[in-house]
Structure 1
Amino acid sequence: MDVKTFGELIDWTRDLHAHLARCLSHGATHNEEERARALLGYLAAHESEMERIVNEFERQAATKVLDTWVYDYQSHNPIKTHRTCDEPYAKLDFNGICREVFDFHDQIIYLYQTLVGKAAIPEAKELMESLLTMEQNEFQRLVRQVGRMDDL
């Protein structure tokens, strides 16, 4: 996706969460390991919720902010995740799935951290800070929940 504005950035991250949710859900039906299937189901639900939360940020943001240009976005490396849902999550074990999903969230957090300092107007900076805080909090919650699953 060609991201030029903060609105497009939010669309893009929302779509990434939605895509990841679909891939995780697909993997949950095809993974042979019971623990991995349970993890994939939980993560798919979490990513769907993240999609909803990010969408709500966009819905509540002022048009002025959403239309503000994102400077230096092109210099940021694209977020890496399994871009197709053919097999990857179905073949990963519990720890491999955790590494992949945690890395995905680390990349989004890094993107938001980078863009906080590049916002041209205070309202855009505030929006990026709010998205960053939400992503960090949700990531911490995700890590705690997955840690509990790993204890079982």
Structure 2
Amino acid sequence: MEIKTFEDLIDWARQLHHHLSKCLGECSGQNQDERARALLSYLADHEAELERITAEFEKQGDPKALKTRLYDYLNHKPIETHRTCDSHYADLDYQGIVTEIFDFHDQVIELYDTLAGKAEIPEARALLESLRDMEQHEAMRLARQIGRMEDI
């Protein structure tokens, strides 16, 4: 996907969450470990919710910010994720899944943070800061839920 505007960036992030949700859901039935299967299922639902929340930013974002051209994205290293679901998560253990999911979310947060620092108009900066804050909040919520799962 070619990212030219902030609206494109948000759509791309929404698609990333959708893809990850789908992949995690598919792998949940294939993993041999019961705890890992439960985690994958929970994470698939969580990513689907993040897809929905991110879509709301597209709908409710400031039109001035959404249509602003995005130049610095090309200078940022791409977010590493498995763009095709090749049963990668089905082969990981519980801790491996946790590590990869948090690494993915850290990359998204870093991208938003970097771009917010370079935003040229206040509306774009506010949009990116809101996206970053949402991702951080959801990552913290995810950490709490995973902590509870580990207690069981």
TM-score, length basis structure 1 = 0.97
What CA deviation, in whole Å up to 9, does each residue of 1:44-78 have, x standing for no partner?
A: 00000000000001100122211101121101011
What CA deviation, in whole Å up to 9, does each residue of 1:100-128 have, x standing for no partner?
A: 11000000000000011111211111000
Code of the residue aligned with 2:39 in structure 1: it is L
Code of the residue aligned with 1:100 in structure 2: it is E
1:117 aligns to what SS in structure 2? helix
TM-score, length basis structure 2 = 0.97
Code of the residue aligned with 1:19 in structure 2: it is H
Indicate the residue corresponding to 2:58 in structure 1. 58
Q: Percent identity?
A: 61
Which 5+ residue runs of structure 2 have no aligned equivalent? Answer: none
2:140 aligns to what SS in structure 1? helix
Indicate the residue corresponding to 2:38 in structure 1. 38
1:116 aligns to what SS in structure 2? helix
Indicate the residue corresponding to 1:80 in structure 2. 80
Provide the C-alpha distance between the structure 1 equivalents of 2:81 and 2:98, rounded to a whole number of angstroms: 12
Code of the residue aligned with 1:28 in structure 2: it is S
1:3 aligns to what SS in structure 2? coil
Indicate the residue corresponding to 2:90 in structure 1. 90
Which 5+ residue runs of structure 1 have no aligned equivalent? Answer: none
Indicate the residue corresponding to 1:18 in structure 2. 18
Provide the C-alpha distance between the structure 2 equivalents of 1:79 and 1:106, rounded to a whole number of angstroms: 10
Indicate the residue corresponding to 2:106 in structure 1. 106
1:45 aligns to what SS in structure 2? helix
Code of the residue aligned with 2:108 in structure 1: it is I
2:46 aligns to what SS in structure 1? helix
For residue 86 of structure 1, report the CA deviation from its aligned partner.
1.9
2:71 aligns to what SS in structure 1? coil
Provide the C-alpha distance between the structure 2 equivalents of 1:110 and 1:9, rounded to a whole number of angstroms: 14
Code of the residue aligned with 1:26 in structure 2: it is E
1:30 aligns to what SS in structure 2? coil
Q: Contact conserved, 1:35 with 1:94, CA < 8 A, in 2?
A: yes
Moved over 4 A (4+): none
Q: Contact conserved, 1:71 with 1:119, CA < 8 A, in 2?
A: no
